[in-house]
Structure 1
Amino acid sequence: MISMRSSLSALLLWSVVPLIPVASAGECSYGDIPQIIAHTGEPVGREEKYNGVNLYISEPGCENPKVGVLYLTDVFGIQLLENKLLADSFARAGFLVVAPDLFDGEPAPADFGTPGFNITDFILKHGPNATDPIVDVGLAYLGETGVDKIAATGYCFGGRYAFRLLAAGKGVDAAFAAHPSLLEDREITAVTNPISVAAAESDTTMSPERRSQIEALLADTKKPYQVNLYSGTSHGFGVRANVSDPQQKFGKESAFSQAVRWFEAWAGGAL
């Protein structure tokens, strides 16, 4: 089962079939959420260098997308297959998707126990001073594409930066963050546009107490917000869920649906 606390009504359960083409020539518009999320397969986007930053770009199969999505990864970066597949899934929802390489080709290894790797040192090396300029390059690329609105979606490490992009003057119209880590109170209270959060039941970076604090801080902003809690999930489920587990699969797919619906409502999305 799934437990949700939200400022919006609960999302409808929807079936998901990977890699079904749904876009056609014309405007990026759909009546219902398409069956588009891919858990396996080959990425369909491309990598491109822009202002010194490598970007993974995935385009919708329709003309003139109105909304761009800045995809901010977890510590495993755009090199992780699941990140590319999820970016492609947002593109199949009708969004132009840009994912900057937040770690300049050197993301965290899949195994944190890899000899020579220290997660604390890694996080210190990639703090806001190093990461914000990279995020801004991705934002600048989207700004030159002609999209009308920009949304941000962030996962774990990237979730913090999705929040940061909602500060005044950043130019992002709405954001979604799945199990954000390292999030500071001042980054929450600074949001000036709608934010949606997908939280894991088991997450050392967001305990139940911290989740309640985040909800209270969001309420104080007086901006639209949503916090959904998914049972049977742990930190990272929004990208790296074990899809052989029904609860984790449902959580990942529903978090994706949550983001698409949020962008539809608050960024004038494709649907």
Structure 2
Amino acid sequence: MSCPDCFSGNVHAGSPRGEVIKLHGLDAYVTEPEGEAKGIIVIIPDAFGWEFVNNRILADHYAAKGGYRVYLPDFMKGNAAPVWSIATLGAVMKTGSLMDWVVKPYHVLRAVYAMVPFMYRNRPVKSWPIVKGFFAALRKNEGAALPVGAAGFCWGGKHTVFLAQGVEVDGKPLINAGFTGHPSMLEIPGDIEKITIPVSFAMGELDSAVKLPQIKQIESVLAQKEGAGEVKIYYGAGHGFCVRADVMVKDVERQALEAEDQAIEWFKRHFAEVSS
């Protein structure tokens, strides 16, 4: 279901500026733009969930740079992967000294302890109805008069693709556009062939969850479906670069910011089509 890189990366420094609310039965982080919202973006997060500081800071960026109201719900219902597993996976991968090898079994056990419960409790057959139900309620209420977009990362990417397969409520699509950064769990080409709502993909050349030949397959399928979407490949980037990039590495930070702009411009373009 998930790869080790889904649980690795870096924690970013910063203070989220939004607030926590209850929305359609879920806890959710919400952040507002300066002026009137031009639309709604719902972030479907990576394995670390709605409380992870990186995801909340990303929500703030979408609101500030795009002028959107952004929701980050607890789709995992308290069962996100623990943030400490980021350091644990880093320790598992270390091989520089004899001590790294001596302590490796301990870190492997801790990694399994973090990853297996997450994967079981948040498998798509269980999580998809939660995501779908939230978006249906959102479309009938907050999103009745506003365009709605889904931005999914890693674990959330699968759900974004599902939403883009034309799911409707009361004759309206649950989303008007989707964006996904380094999605995981995709069935390629099957999941992509069913897309009917435009989706923008931000993919790392070195992604371990969706490798380069599969990325090219996604490109090929979308090219045959007019208006179905786009793929941008970030060369040298690996899995998790949109959310958990090491900001001390210049090129990686730049690519994460470019992926933010990719998402914002995509939603801007497709939301304008809804409003016109």
Q: TM-score, normalization: structure 2? A: 0.77
Map 1:54-133; keep pairs closer than 5 Å.
54-63=27-36, 65-92=37-64, 93-110=66-83, 111=85, 113=108, 114=110, 117=113, 119-133=115-129
Map 1:145-160; keep pairs closer than 5 Å.
145=142, 146-160=144-158
Q: CA deviation at 1:244?
A: 1.0
**Paired residue total:** 231
Q: Which runs of 4+ in 1 moved over 6 A?
A: none
Aligned equivalents of 1:150 and 1:88: distance in 2? 17
Aligned equivalents of 2:17 and 2:140: distance in 1? 22
Aligned equivalents of 2:231 and 2:122: distance in 1? 27
After superposition, give the CA deviation of every residue in 1:203-224 in whole Å (9 maximum; x if it has no partner).
1111111111111222233334
The more displaced of 112-121 and 217-226 is 112-121
Distance 1:124 1:189, change over 3 A: farther
User: Of the two, which has the highest radius of gyration?
Assistant: 2
Distance 1:142 1:46, change over 3 A: farther
Q: CA deviation at 1:105?
A: 1.6
- Which of 258, 269, 272 aligns to 1:268? It is 272
Distance 1:47 1:225, change over 3 A: same
Distance 1:50 1:244, change over 3 A: same
- Match of 2:93? none
Q: CA deviation at 1:123?
A: 2.0
Contact map agreement 1:100 1:134 (CA 8 A) in 2: no
Q: CA deviation at 1:66?
A: 3.1
**Secondary structure in 2 aligned to 1:85?**
helix
After superposition, give the CA deviation of every residue in 1:62-110 in whole Å (9 maximum; x if it has no partner).
12x2311011100000111000000111111200111111211221123
**Secondary structure in 2 aligned to 1:233?**
coil
Aligned equivalents of 1:186 and 1:115: distance in 2? 31
Aligned partner letter, 2:204:
A
Map 1:12-27; keep pairs closer than 5 Å.
none
Q: CA deviation at 1:201?
A: 2.0
Aligned equivalents of 1:51 and 1:42: distance in 2? 26
- Which of 222, 225, 229 aligns to 1:225? It is 229
After superposition, give the CA deviation of every residue in 1:128-153 in whole Å (9 maximum; x if it has no partner).
23212322344223541254211111
- Match of 2:178? 175
> Mind listing any 5+ residue stretches in structure 2 that lack a counterpart?
1-11, 90-107
Aligned equivalents of 2:224 and 2:72: distance in 1? 31
C-alpha RMSD over aligned residues: 2.1
- Match of 1:244? 248
Aligned equivalents of 1:115 and 1:195: distance in 2? 32
**Secondary structure in 1 aligned to 2:22?**
strand
Aligned partner letter, 2:120:
L
Contact map agreement 2:39 2:68 (CA 8 A) in 1: yes
Aligned equivalents of 1:109 and 1:54: distance in 2? 18
* Aligned sequence identity (%): 31
- Match of 1:144? 141
Aligned partner letter, 1:169:
V
Aligned equivalents of 1:253 and 1:240: distance in 2? 12
- Match of 2:102? none
Aligned equivalents of 2:209 and 2:77: distance in 1? 25
Aligned partner letter, 2:271:
A
Q: TM-score, normalization: structure 1? A: 0.79
Aligned equivalents of 2:27 and 2:126: distance in 1? 15
2:12 is the alignment partner of 1:44:
no
> Mind listing any 5+ residue stretches in structure 1 that lack a counterpart?
1-38
Aligned equivalents of 2:179 and 2:222: distance in 1? 13
Contact map agreement 1:69 1:153 (CA 8 A) in 2: yes
